[in-house]
Structure 1
Amino acid sequence: MSFLLAVVGRPNVGKSTLFNRLVGKKLALVDDRPGVTRDRREGDARLGDLSFRIMDTAGLEEADAASLEGRMRAQTEAAIADADAILFMIDARVGLTPTDRAFAALVRRSGKPVILVANKSEGRGGEAGALEAFGLGLGDPVPLSAEHGEGLSDLYDAICAALPEQTRPAEEEDEDEEAPQDEADDKPKRPIKVAVLGRPNAGKSTLINRLLGEDRLLTGPEAGITRDSISVEVSYAGVRLEVFDTAGLRKRARIEDKLEKLSAADALRAMKFAEVVVLLIDATHPFEEQDLRIADLVAREGRALVIGYNKSDLIARGGLATRLREEADRLLPQVKGLPIVPVSGLMGHGLDKLVEAVAKTHKVWNKRIATNPLNRFLQQVTDTHPPPAVSGRRVKLRYITQPKARPPSFVLFCSRPDALPESYVRYLVNGLRENFDLPGVPIRITLREKDNPYAE
């Protein structure tokens, strides 16, 4: 039986390091400074024969509820409420602090099973702090080192003792092995992976919270709140999505802080794993240079693109759709015809149209075209506009096929690939986009020369 563990404690005790250790991947950002983690992050963890969900949380701090630290604490308290058991972590090298004692009382009041973890216990430096942890009254501390992987066997025993029902080995049932074939066929399709990118303070987290219908992600008026790329499952209007909230992307020249570099790299990694990217543009400052850079990066990476025109409730709507379409087609010809959806994450306007555009663009991104229609198209475009003659010899276009989708990719066999001008390749791309209805996705054409059987 699966269960959920929440890792809580004050800042910089090693919660994200333990999370990464149990998940087996470097998902959470880790740095020496305190307060790196802000949002709740969930992952599938394994420890021995135990499989469970684990939640990394922000460091607990005493702060006003309206401040950023106060909102981070509210997220951690929500994680405590959702968890089946709590891993309360302290720094064994520092020892107990008044903050540890205050939040130990908070964890105790939750009524959930608590496992006390004394992290950084490697060597003699952590022995005193591990012994001091008995003073919290949360049971025997588990000394471990999340950085070096020491003490995980003791953590396994502590989890089994805290959750005996959930960690009991499941009895094998023959009925599960012989599941009816039609039930296996009725499994729902996996969700569409969607990364939400944009400049800082474009409203990405607010939009995702509105899609979810709850305050799952940390939001506020401050720019650059999101640091980790957090994935959440969303089902909206019958469409299942796995949405990645990402950190705002600024110009590379302006990024000096190491932590912001890590956040930007995490956002770009989320984009590479996504299928559809929603580029969220602030309607009060539309189509700035950085927006165009992000769109070009998405196109070069081969991902489907949808533009969300956020905060559209703050501007006049007269002729907005026409204006946006003209600007997008002029500034982003490499993804001509991409969907542009005016939305308001704060008010909840336009979310159904945005999800519909994501589903439609995902279908186009997966589209495959038969070879016969492709070659009829090639014959038509070459009759209308033949390829130019280079050095007195005309390039012959012989055959076109689509070997793969995601994004739609084509192979064109011709007599002299290196001599075909880039302008003519763009002409073919635009023709493919128009004839086969491929808006908003990058199209790739690879030129190849057929082997000459008489070459030898």
Structure 2
Amino acid sequence: MRLFRVFSKIFTVSLIGRPNVGKSTLFNNIVGERSSLVHPTPGLTRDRIEAVTNLFGVPIKIIDTAGWDPVGTKNSPNMIEKMMSQTRKALFESDMAFFLLDVRQGVTIADEKLAEYLRKEGVKDYPNLKEIVLVGNKAEQSYLGDISNEVYSLGMGDPIMISAEHNEGIVDLYEKLRDAIPETYFEENKEKHEKRLQRHAKVKAEKYKELKALETTTGENFNLKEWERAYDEINPPENSDYDTDSEINIDNSIADPIAYKKNPEVLRKVKGIQLSIIGRPNVGKSTLINSLLGEERVITDPEAGTTRDSIYIDYVYSGRKIKLVDTAGLYKRSKGAVGKMIEDDVKKAIKFSHVVIMMFDAFEGVTPMELDLARDVIDEGRVLLLVGNKWDKVAKDMKTKFSDYYADLFYRKITLKGLNIAMISASQKYNTRKMLSEIIDLYDRWNLRVSTGLLNRWLDSFKKVQSMPTEDGELLKIKYITQIKSRPPTFYVYVNDRSLMKENYLKNFTNSLCKEFNISGVPIRILLRDKHLKAKKQHKPEFKIRKAKDILVKGTKKMSEGKKKPIIVS
């Protein structure tokens, strides 16, 4: 099974130029957060970095490219060529490019070579590239230096003078960008936005109707106004997990045409999986991505720490859309400013992922830092798959012992019921298909949605076989349960008094829920609500496990009793 490249319909802008002219600074300025590493060291960005931001009310993809012809960096000639290749690939995907110059250094030979290349090869090699805009960066307080006379020799037209660091001249840049975007693009995105809001309103109305019918049947007061507040805070219309839109068009890019023909409408509506790969340097994260894609999309090198930023790539596997995210390797302790930026970048990748592969070297073993990373993934409510790479290095007669060791280690250290471990060899493409199949299965469990009626029929059965806890003569009463969101599965449980929900009873409650609806292997959230606390305190949009007393997460140490040893896929 091959992975096919998918080109998105998002209007795309590339930032190009030689090293250290401010491409990453401008990238972060446009995106609105630090997505690309910024540091005085030339050539810090080695791969192309992509981010989708909202400008003028529509999504715009910005690509920060590696430096073109990075003279003076410590990179080898082979690494330089790989970096330039990534820039060429970015231009191929782009509708527009900003060609950055450093006005304080003036026009250099590298600038002239890039301008010559774009003039001669741009139209032929990059058919989607409609416009290249020259941008003079570091022009604080209208500083021009000697560049004004040199810039026109490049044959790229009038430059726009800016200071990305001090936010000067950015308005002029935005005006140029706005003029380049077709009006049809705005119309298409407006239609998508309206459909998204309609979908959100429809789902909320259906759930409310279900609860109202159940309330009438039972004769209980469900306090549905409180449910509505919680629903709106956890499912804001602009970022609802019921949004089925995607910028990826899979019509002509399905890896399995037969599966696609069987049920095309289902596959069209399935949301893409954002899959991040985290771990120490040189455990094979970039090698795995390149192995899956069948091309060197991510620069690899025997030297640890080749990847510096998180790399985002859209692909389709077996009819499922996947955004692969290759992150920089984390050391035990962050080294300097660059190390701290890498650490923040990895944390952000975890936060915005659906599934996270925590990759470790199966031959060398697992470090405490890697165990901490795995716990962070669970704490964030993301799907965790542990992947042991370089399994081919383990002797055949030792594989069973290694498997037993890792199963026991993760059983003791990672407290999540149904945790799975995949043993692979990225370089040999061993077990990678099984790994991807496991990811899709876990993702589907994480996306589980159960109707309110089905949940409450299970609840009735559960209450018949489980004695309700009491305290000072007062009996716990579970009024109803409903799923308030997925990703991760989050259940709203309304009771008469939350203090009566004892730990052991809650453990049995969640274990039974997971077993009944097959949601082991992923974290779930239980939101307990009662009539005693004020609405403000009951509906804090706080999801950190150990900080929110009213939100309990399956997978923490207190909730992990009765879990089985991890399943090894090898």
TM-score (ref. length: structure 1):
0.80
CA distance in 2, matches of 1:255, 1:65: 25
State the distance in 1 between where 2:293 and 2:283 align.
18
Distance in 2 separating the partners of 1:6 and 1:355: 31
Q: 1:181 corresponds to which residue?
A: none
**Structure 2 residue aligned with 1:34:** 42
Q: Given the alignment of the two structures, is residue 359 of structure 1 paired with residue 378 of structure 2, yes or no?
A: no
How do 1:269-418 and structure 2 match up within 5 A? 269-317=348-396, 318-319=399-400, 323-333=405-415, 335-369=416-450, 370-380=455-465, 382=466, 396-399=475-478, 401-404=481-484, 405-410=486-491, 417-418=498-499
Instruction: Tell me, in whole angstroms, the C-alpha distance in 2 between the residues paired with 1:158 and 1:417.
Output: 54
The letter of the residue matching 1:118 is G
Query: Helix, strand or coil for the counterpart of 2:443?
Result: helix
Distance (whole Å) between structure 2 residues aligned to residue 170 and residue 408 of structure 1: 37
Deviation of 1:445 after TM superposition, in Å, equals 3.7
Q: 1:237 aligns with which of 291, 294, 318?
A: 318
Aligned: 1:116 with 2:134: yes
Residue 20 of structure 2: which of 3, 6, 12 is its match?
A: 12
CA contact (8 A) 1:118 1:130 kept: no
Kindly provide the amino acid, as one letter, of the partner of residue 48 in structure 2. R
Q: In the alignment, is residue 56 of structure 1 matched against residue 141 of structure 2?
A: no
1:439 corresponds to: 520
Q: What SS class does the counterpart of residue 384 from structure 2 fall into?
A: strand
Consecutive unaligned residues in structure 2, runs of 5 or more: 1-8, 124-130, 192-244, 246-263, 534-570
1:218 aligns with 2:299: yes
For each residue in 1:326-355, what CA deviation from the matched residue of structure 2 results, as whole angstroms up to 9, or x when unmatched?
Answer: 43333222x121222222222222222122
Larger RCO, structures 1/2 (Cα 8 Å, 6+ apart): 2
The offset of 1:233, in angstroms, is 1.0
Residue 136 of structure 1: how far off its partner (Å) = 3.4
Alpha carbons of 1:157 and 1:194: their partners in 2 closer, same or farther (altered >3 Å)? Answer: closer
Report the equivalent of 1:163.
none
Deviation at 1:92, TM superposition (A): 0.5
RMSD: 3.8
Q: Counterpart amino acid of 1:12? A: N
Q: 1:45 to 1:401 in 2, by over 3 A?
A: closer
Contact 2:135 2:162 in 1 (8 A): yes
Instruction: Give how far 1:225 is off.
Output: 2.3
Summarize the Cα distance change of 1:395–1:285 in structure 2 as closer, same or farther, 3 Å threshold: farther
8 Å Cα contact 1:80-1:110 kept in structure 2: no
Distance (whole Å) between structure 1 residues aligned to residue 303 and residue 483 of structure 2: 47
1:257 and 2:336 correspond:
yes
**Contact 1:144-1:152 at 8 Å conserved across structures:** no
Q: Which residue of 1 aligns with 2:242?
A: none
- Whether the aligned pair in 2 keeps the contact of 1:368 and 1:402 (CA below 8 Å) is no
Deviation digits for residues 100-145 of structure 1 (CA, Å, limit 9, x no counterpart):
3344444444344654322222435324223322333444433333
For 2:528 and 2:155, the matched residues in 1 are separated by 71
- Distance in 2, matches of 1:308 and 1:196, equals 9
Normalised by the size of structure 2, how large is the TM-score?
A: 0.65
Letter in 2 for 1:377: F
Give how far 1:57 is off. 0.6
Q: Tell me the residue number matched to 2:274.
A: 193
What is the Cα deviation at residue 360 of structure 1?
1.0
**One-letter code of the match for 1:71?**
K
Query: Does structure 1 conserve the Cα–Cα contact (< 8 Å) formed by 2:29 and 2:164?
Result: yes
Which residue among 103, 106, 110 is the counterpart of 1:99? 110
Tell me the distance in 2 between the aligned counterparts of 1:101 and 1:396: 80
Amino acid at match of 1:209: N
SS of 1:110's equivalent?
helix
Please tell me the residue identity of whatever aligns with 2:487. Answer: R
* Shift in alpha-carbon separation, 1:429–1:292, aligned structure 2, 3 A: farther
Residue 100 of structure 2 aligns with which residue? Answer: 89
Partner-residue secondary structure (3-state), 1:55: strand
Q: State the shift of 1:203 in Å.
A: 1.6
Distance change >3 Å, CA 222–CA 151, structure 1 → 2: same
The share of aligned pairs that are identical, in percent, is 34
2:309 matched residue in structure 1: 228
Q: Distance in 1 between matches of 2:427 and 2:297?
A: 14
Q: Deviations over 1:175-233 (max 9, x none)?
A: x99xxxxxx99444221222222222222222122222221122212222223222211
| Structure-to-structure mapping, 1:143-222, within 5 angstroms | 143-147=161-165, 148-150=167-169, 153=172, 186=265, 187-222=268-303
SS at match of 1:215: coil
Identify the match of residue 132 of structure 1 among 133, 142, 150: 150
Structure 1 residues 413 and 23: CA distance shift in structure 2, 3 A: closer
- Where does structure 1 lack aligned partners over 5 or more consecutive residues? 161-165, 178-183
User: In structure 1, what residue type is equivalent to 2:481?
Assistant: T
Instruction: Assess, with a 3 A threshold, how the Cα gap between structure 1 residues 348 and 171 changes in structure 2: closer, same or farther.
Output: closer
